Chains A and B, each alone.
Chain A
Amino acid sequence: MGLPPLSSDEIARYSRHLLLPQVGMRGQQQLKSASVLIVGAGGLGSPIAMYLAAAGVGRIGLVDYDRVDVSNLQRQVLYTENDLQAPKAEIAAKRLSAANSHIRVDGITGQFNSSNAMEIARGYDILVDGTDNLPTRYLLNDLAVLTNRPYVYGSIFRFEGQVSIFGMPDRPCYRCLFPEPPPPGAIPSCASAGVMGVLPGIIGSIQAAEVIKLITGIGELLAGRLLLFDALEMRLDSVRIGKKAGCPVCGTAPTIRALQDYEAWCGSRIGQEFKLPPTPFDISPLALSKLLTEKMPVVLLDVREEFERQISTLTGSVHIPLPELLERIGELPVDRKIIAYCRNGIRSQEAARLLQLHGHSDVRHLEGGINAWAAIVDPSIPVY
């Protein structure tokens, strides 16, 4: 099949690509005939989609189930204050179509999961990672390997990012690198750990560059290499990663021949922050509020870090960060009820468990943390 010709409008528009000997007319035509599916239209998805649309990738699909939240605007540059609460995929598709009328953009609002991934991804040449969770990464990887398509991987945490290309012939896949997911909750998300706003801009732009190189067949691809970026040290490392003969999906005797249940595999649900199962230590914000109005003599123990106390605190609380709890346990009275709290109830549950293990019999922790308290009991406290 021949490559589509460029109109004179397109030739003017893509002049700076056409001037590059490595891209030229043929490369720009390849871009025009290419189709790319971006899964996740958030921090990574924003720059990926904006640069690929500007570069003239002929068909771009964008999948996201989420709506625009005010906390997204710190890094998700596809959206504006006018878009709050609107579906991301819809807004993004409008914005990209407005940026480049020569391309086709499909915004798909909904979950991307094992039951619809094959169908949604049908017809796209390249799969690109804009997701914020592990289950969707394993899904994208397996889909890419099973259908012989490249998967352009990117992932971020706080100030650090990773980029690679998986699913290429004779090159490793995501499962070759990470055969097993970490235990649920071991690796926090941006929602719970924070992220430098410009970081996904850098990582997503590198992903977009790899997509353009893949389409035009130029340069050295990141397949078989993992790029590591650290914004604090401003350091870029590239390490070699190998294909594993025993890989269950791309190895010599694969056992994975169809898409799996990835949420079960990773022990986490997409779109939900990790929650610990209920324990006898839990106390709800309303129950705690009742205790406090009854003037019960309790110790409120804040186990968060110092910088978090500058955002919000409960009046009269004592402060021992979770990592220091065991060293400083002697500072807490043994004959009083202790109620630990943190941001969202994960660290405080661990604190309650540790305190009980070390001789405190009457221990509780605030379910959902100070953010739940702010939502249910005291709206004057900021949620973060």
Chain B
Amino acid sequence: MATIKIPQVFQLYTGGSALLTVEGATLTAVLRDLAQRYPELATHLMNRTGKLHQYVHLFRKGEELPRVEADQVLISQDDDLVLVPGIAGG
């Protein structure tokens, strides 16, 4: 299963977990799986149609995953994804 590194900002909605494992062969499937397991987190990450909000990004091996046609974006079992939010402190 692929993993997603969850930033501090969103750990409030994962029961404190910093690393989640998700199932699915495409980005759409992975996001759907994430939404099922963590519905509260999902409301902060995506809109009702399951698309990521503009203020969060998903990266894999240092490259951003495409936002359009997420059902065409293949995710492999050993992918490590990184979720990046906008943060505001200083």
**B62 x A237 contact (CB < 8 A):** yes
A182 at the interface (CB under 8 A from B): yes
CB distance from B32 to the nearest CB of A (A): 22
- State the CA gap A322–B83 with chains docked (Å): 24
Tell me the nearest residue of chain B to A158, going by C-beta: B8
**Alpha-carbon separation in the docked complex, A249 to B68 (Å):** 22
Q: Is the CB of B55 within 8 A of A181?
A: yes
Considering only CB atoms, which chain B residue lies closest to A159 in the complex? Answer: B8
Query: When the two chains form their complex, are residues A156 and B89 in contact, meaning their CB atoms are under 8 A apart?
Result: yes
**Chain A residues with Cβ under 8 A from B87's Cβ?**
155-157, 160-162, 187
Footprint of B on A, CB under 8 Å? 40, 42-45, 129-134, 137, 154-162, 177-182, 186-190, 193, 195, 200, 226, 228, 232-233, 237-242, 323
Whether B90 pairs with A130 at a CB distance below 8 angstroms is yes
- As a 0/1 sequence over residues 27 to 42 of chain B, the CB contacts with chain A under 8 angstroms (1 = contact) are 0000000000000100
Q: Told that A157-B8, A181-B86 touch, could you supply 7 new A-B pairs with CB distance under 8 A?
A: A42-B90, A130-B90, A188-B9, A228-B84, A232-B18, A239-B62, A323-B12
Binding site for A on B (CB under 8 A): 7-9, 12-13, 15, 18, 40, 44, 53-55, 57, 59, 62-64, 82, 84-90
28 A–B pairs (Cβ distance < 8 Å), ordered by A? A43-B89, A43-B90, A130-B90, A131-B90, A132-B89, A133-B90, A137-B88, A155-B86, A155-B89, A155-B90, A156-B90, A157-B9, A180-B55, A182-B86, A187-B86, A187-B87, A190-B89, A190-B90, A193-B89, A200-B89, A228-B82, A237-B82, A238-B62, A239-B59, A239-B64, A239-B82, A240-B62, A323-B12
Q: Is B64 a contact of A178 with CB atoms below 8 Å?
A: no
The interface residues of chain B lying within 8 Å CB-to-CB of A323 are: 12-13, 15, 40
Of B57, B86, B90, most A-chain CB atoms within 10 Å:
B90
A347 CB, min distance to chain B CBs, angstroms: 10
A182-B55, A187-B9 in contact; A132/B88 too (CB < 8 A)? yes
Q: In the complex the two chains form, what is the Cα distance from A158 to B8 in whole Å?
A: 7
- Across the two chains, which residue of chain A brings its CB closest to B90? A132
User: Which of B8, B62, B82: most chain A Cβ within 10 A?
Assistant: B8
CB distance from A354 to the nearest CB of B (A): 12
Inside 8 A of A177's CB, which chain B residues have their CB? 57, 86
Task: A376 to B29: give the CA distance in the assembly, Å.
Answer: 51
A157 and chain B: residue at smallest CB distance? B87
Docked CA distance A156–B88 (Å): 6
* A236 smallest CB distance to B (angstroms): 12
Tell me the minimal C-beta distance from A204 to chain B in angstroms: 9
The docked-state distance in angstroms from the alpha carbon of A95 to that of B5 is 40
B64 near A240: Cβ-Cβ < 8 Å: yes
A198 smallest CB distance to B (angstroms): 14
Q: How far is the CA of A44 from the CA of B44 in the complex (A)?
A: 27
Most B Cβ at <10 Å: residue of A132, A178, A189, A232: A178
* Contact status B82-A40, CB under 8 Å: no
- B38 to A: closest C-beta gap in Å: 11
Known contacts A180-B54, A182-B55, A228-B84: does B63 contact A239 (CB below 8 Å)? yes
* B37 → A minimal CB distance (Å): 15
Q: Which residues in A have their C-beta under 8 angstroms from that of B86?
A: 134, 155, 177-178, 181-182, 187
Task: Give chain A residues whose Cβ lies under 8 Å from the Cβ of B57.
Answer: 177, 239
Q: Take A157-B9, A180-B55, A239-B64 as given contacts and tell me if A226 and B84 are in contact as well, using a CB distance cutoff of 8 Å.
A: yes
| A179 B54 Cβ-Cβ under 8 A | yes
